[in-house]
Structure 1
């Protein structure tokens, strides 16, 4: 942020403020794109001119974000491009103070949007209404936009749209403006008053500077398509590997002013940009193809600019069972397990999956304790209630325990989603208990059925073992109909992938070759890729064909022909 001296010295009562709100596609990091921006001009504690615009994005919106923001894909398809919208926003920000609720998020989104559009971020001074409320309404603990507005007596009619939220933010700012003016006379004093109070690190920190345009690598040959790019130094050594659904725009953003500032979303050391002299690329037809290729190139080239930090939380977990102990347990983990194991997922919702594990343990009499098996003289509480076979007593036949465990895992090892089979299993047990006049157990099972029905409805993703079967997945191009990448997944692993072949003469042999990998265990070096691919498929729309040995060329041709005319629908399994 650069604060011009004349703006810093301007009295608050005569300054102009621009309340801004943004809506995004709901994705993280470089996949986050601006979908709508709204502004309200504020001056003299009054609302003046309003402006808003939808913004086109490169990747289709997910159904969840369309429901959340009420911005449909059709609205985005007809919206102007960022290159057409952002210059107008820059003009409106000139000479004004940006006001936003949780301003750090909105500023970060706008920085990235300007960087992606190869525009310089105007870097206006920023005031946050959350910080304003924290200082001047300390008794109001709930500082979300709607609760804060309600506490200040401001009516809120619409939320999660840019212009209504910007107007609510402006009214909150006006409601607290008098208190701000009582403690600060100028814009500079207000910024100092509401600035961060956390003690900063004493370590010296050098801010990177962007390179002059004539000294940057030539990226004019890069396509505006999905793919992977590799920056190299003058000797050809790889410095950084990146991927994007728009290779040229993303590669350019590394050298713009916005990316060089501290607000960059990617948090990657940028010292390599000063050594980059050339760039090459490899195009793909889909974002998934770029994701897989990027991971493999990073492992092969080990460029210094790609630093593996803390894993980005995405909410996806696996329900897994490792068969390396005498009485295996069901567990919840972020990654699939290598070796002899069954991994179900990925599914979204760690708390829900943890409860599902408890329900399965009680239904099938499996262990509720950890991997280390304790030795007891008497059954645990679960054992006394008949919900555990109590292997801790030391007298249980391992084969009986394994039969129960196999029965539980078999519900998720078929071609479909295990939700239906699990509920059907409980219904069959209810009928059997009623037939035996075990009405107390039947009532217990009925309560379990109701609870599991609600629990499974909240889980995102597919409850299916990753090793179950093989399938051909076609990932679409973000915008071009008919351009697809093909992925042969066997046991959750990508055994082959590439641009979808034009002829069945190539497609069928590759499918037969992929099916020869059925039954192989997951290797430790494949875990990261399996998780990346699984999480991407769980959150995106694809076409998928279940593969069996001896699949006919005609079935493959029919599937591919239908997929070439498909753009974006809900996940379809043939």
Structure 2
């Protein structure tokens, strides 16, 4: 017997266009599927091995290529498997090993939706073989024809969904024989018959097919019409209830596709199903690109406080570390911020921990006694403070104490990082003295302080600019634009490929929202919005078109400590 071929691939396969996952919203007739079937020595991927692989590549009802080969499992085939498949150990003597077959199969299936009858079995064996030989498993979309058949066919029509039973039901052209390529060909016919059935139910794309698979209540599916008017563009959507109240706000790259998912089996969250049951209509706001959609979502959450959103609906309810207004200032945790406040923090405990570190390293008092300007701090400091007051017990006038206050302000503003350097030196001293637990605790506190400073200074750098126009390359060509004023998105737009960008920039700038800054660290903007803008500005390919001020962080700020803080957090975990 001649040695089995590693695979048979149709000449049409070379010219076949395989869809990327981003293209899978195209019709099912334009989606590439690779239907695979395996024969094995048993049922356990961990203990048994593959003896045969058969695969058929199809698109639009046409066969693009086939791959079929026996595989040497490196062991004898059990008698009951020989009886079932007809594959004997003698047939596999000259067959290739699985490590020779896998690269060809993975290349053959690349970019396609992987289909199998009882997919967990076949995919489980393939994944185990890939892992065993240190190969990378591609991010396949997987479709199981058993699951699809059970969803499409009633029990009366198909008491069994075994491949042989479905082959009889649909009168397939190739009978399943428990040989891999024959069974793959039979599964192709079954797949086509099932797709034809769901097409009559309005399922025409792969995402719609995936959404269709789980069972969905008729009430939930009946509200699909609420999404019919939505465009396939980026934007924000608002579910409204019986009294026109906003129930939920979300953002999407493709509004229609995203909202459609709420009325299918892909939405499994009980909270969202409850929201959908209450919804009576869906409003939307089209946006130029993802950044505008994300910013508008934040603003709408703050404006409406929708009951079904878990994301913070109160962006101004943040905590700040602030110097008190008195002759001998101390650090206080408040909801209000001034120009020298540090924050924002999402919870008070984190803010208090960072404030304690600053108090200690800058020698700011933590006693709460009221001290007049004509008095001194120190001799009358209460004894109740654990470990003594960080400002010390020596008599200090307001002028002398002011040096510590100035150090706090310089640390927050980023004009002097001496406190961070002192903390690092203290960590080194503790480690040298083999006080490792104390060194680790101080390291974690220092990293928390450095991270808070870096975030605050980064956001403040964006908010400090009166006007900044930036551009980022679009997928597929052209540019996305953002006009940022005092930390807020004032205008957004795009220049598609082939459109001159500067006239678009000029039009966006002229139409941009007028922003009136406020006296706060972020000039009145919310941390969430400035954070979105800062991340967008930091993304690859983004460039500044023009700006009223320089976009820069302080030279002695915490930006230089970013790597140290990251390493410290990694050591802590």
Which band: TM-score by shorter chain?
0.3 to 0.5
TM-score when normalising by structure 2: 0.43
TM-score when normalising by structure 1: 0.43
Q: Which has the larger radius of gyration?
A: 2
Structure with larger RCO (C-alpha < 8 A, sep 6+): 1
